[in-house]
Chain A
Amino acid sequence: MDIDDILRDVDPTFHTIPQEKRDLQELTRTWIAERSAPELLPWPANGLFERINSNIKRQIEKVEEMTGDMDPKTNFALIVIQTELERYRYLVRSYLRARIAKIDKHTLHYLSTDELRARLSEMELAYATRHQALLHNHYLSSFLSSFPPNLQNLNDTSVGLNMIDTPDLESAVFIRLLKNAVVRGRGVDADDVFSARESDIVILRWADAKPLVAAGSAELV
């Protein structure tokens, strides 16, 4: 907690953190959460990536403008901007790739219900739909088309097994409490309920952590 946080606590209208900085914080958080969570998290709907993208574009233009200027001062500033730019790019790239990896792994699952589809961005939805179509087509032309018709589905649920693989929501994650909250965790032998304090770090099943994260009481680390 730094001075800004304290001031904001006292006066909620206090806004000294510029939008860009808050965006970077949010990007970093979203990125960490996406990489830690075993399932795909919702695509940020508040225009975060539109803002980040236009920031990146602006900085690229600035770099182009400043190149060619041989003044050492400009040159130093140029290096700082480029370094920052590379880091931004890395965050966005790593975030997008983490999502694509999850989407590729369980494509049919994420396409199966509207609620799950809503987690994908428009571009990701287009990508996932097309990718699944390609795969299905590939299976069909490789062997599936010579199967008996009743065996050609990719979403059979007979024999007690669902063909659609789903992410393991019971795998473990680390969370940091952002405010005091009651944590419920299911264990192998016994369940546990305890009240955790702000900034405590807890390891528990993602299925148990999810409500806390969704309510903003905790973040993934």
Chain B
Amino acid sequence: MNAGTRLGVVALSLLVMAALVATGCAKKEVGPSKGQNVDTLVVAMGADARSLDPHATNDQPSARVMKLVYNRLMYQTEDLKIENDLVESYNAVSSTVFEFKLRPNVKFHNGETLSSNDVKFTFERMIANKAPAAFLVAALDKVEVIDALNFRMILKYPFGPFVTHLAHTATSIVNEKAVTAGGADYGRNPVGTGPFKFVEWKAGDSITLAAYDAYHLGAPKAKTIRFRFIPEDANRAIALETGEADIVYDVGPNDYKNLDAIPEIDAKRIAGLTTFYMGFNMAKKPFDDVRVRRAINLALDVDTATRVAFEGFAVPAKGPLAPTVQFADTSLPGYGYDPAKAKQLLAEAGYANGFKTSIWTNNNPIRVKFAEIFQEQLRQVGIECAIEIMEFAPYLDRTALGEHDMFMLGWVAVTGDADYGMYSLFHSTQFGDAGNRTFYKNPKVDELLDKGRVSVNPEDRRAAYAEAQKLVYEDAPWVFLAFREDLNATRNYVKGFVPHAAGHHNLYKVYNE
């Protein structure tokens, strides 16, 4: 290379740098109002939906889209009250028979009018297809059509939270004709009665919905909604910051502080419905001994761990139910942090020199963080534990089989009802996959949970759940960790966004100003 070319190379690199600096100076600021595509609301969430057929899946990203495409018979408000949705009125004829009357003139996106037959078809299909969320309507015996708008639901046994379950996105009402027409690909061509109709699905990238102008409550405010899938927490936050997204779901705790400090961004934190816990495998020694379980509860500084793991965006848990859940007992005292007493209890149980064990978790960063903190704190009382991180599917399988020692998991009481929040986790008929991975068995608790489930009187239910929570607290099948807050954020030109504690937010009246 001669002197000339060398000079050329130097000049070129200087030019590139200059261009970078220049573009940097001219950086596009995203101001208080959305410059372009005002009609499109861009929502960023962490994962792609699996299917938009409510009977094919029960995952959160799908539920968030289905919430907008479909309606349910009942509607769960942002403060977890149950109201009528597609139903105009209903009454309980007996503890096992409900009569419903549909709103008239509700049209599906394909032009069909909603009728009792669609309701019957929906629930029969849900059960026949063995939908992943079919357990929600396990109590349902049959749906009887009275006429086009009136129908009757008959239960096999009294079930307190039944009507609440009819607000779950998995019980969305589908149209028989559309389902038949869609065939095996119905999950990609969903037809509902909701405020937005399905337009396009770019696998792994985005789902686009358009306003359904004939929506029975009036056309929605936004013309188009585009859900984008951005798996990395930090990148979702960045997308909001740069204006690539208007709303971001599930903001990471650390990003929340950054976003909150930006004047053009409204960061919203609300109490959630999720309980984080570390369970003991009570079918195994030494966790069959209540003294060991209590000792570990005492050996762990849960408050500090929660503050660190959630960056302050969670409330340390004292019992099994988040305070937002109906019938949660907020008066339980919690175990507190007392390593000396922990050691004493361990000695009483015959483990004065500690023991070796393990903490299992899936690779959720917050759970791993808790596990790492606990590993170190348990080391202080002589308990050596290994951390086993595995993928979610094998993790659920192996904990259901009881191969674990201690394990980290969360439970979302989606319906906001104590039955959903406790039955699967603590009833002895629910061992393994159903949810009771601690293999906890207390006949008195079983009895109370059954009572809470079948009785229709709220005060009876409250009393049963209060006692059940107290017993669970004393038996300590878990280390009660934290109730996570739900963190979401929007650009401040987004109007009308009210987050829902269960995570599926209603965007019917949300728009860019």
Tell me whether A and B are bound partners. Answer: no
Residues of B bordering A, CB below 8 Å? none
Interface residues of A (CB under 8 A from B): none
